[in-house]
Amino acid sequence: RKEVEQDPGPFNVPEGATVAFNCTYSNSASQSFFWYRQDCRKEPKLLMSVYSSGNEDGRFTAQLNRASQYISLLIRDSKLSDSATYLCVVISGGFKTIFGAGTRLFVKA
């Protein structure tokens, strides 16, 4: 079993749709969680951190479920510009960081 798993997608959605990404992790001692966005042939960029209480930034909502060991990212009212690959990142103690393989999103007009 991979330490961090994401649905590879791709997800094809129309503009305005709500789309959800899930990411499961195997190490129950994992401490920090992030979502990154990566545009085609570019570097990943931090989208948002994920907190136990859940957090929201505009159209984006991130949640953490420690009991089930997964994090989620919800995008509401999706825009064409949201088309990208979304990577989940899980950090265990110290410098052990695992990047998910990413979920590709295509938003179509």
CA distance linking residue 87 with residue 94, whole number of Å: 20
When the beta carbons of 1 and 41 are compared against other proteins, the nearer one is 41
Residues 10-29 that bind other proteins (CB under 8 A): none
Binding mask 35-74 for other proteins (x = CB under 8 A): -x----xxxxxx--x-------------------------
State whether residue 73 is helix, strand or coil. Answer: strand
When the beta carbons of 52 and 97 are compared against other proteins, the nearer one is 97
Residues 6+ apart with CB under 8 A from 10: 103, 104, 105, 106
Question: In this structure, what are the phi and psi dihedrals at residue 46, rounded to the nearest 5 degrees?
Answer: -60, 125
In the DSSP assignment, the letter for residue 51 is: -
Residues 79-108 that bind other proteins (CB under 8 A): 87, 89, 95, 97-102
Interface residues with other proteins (CB under 8 A)? 4, 8, 34, 36, 41-46, 49, 87, 89, 95, 97-102
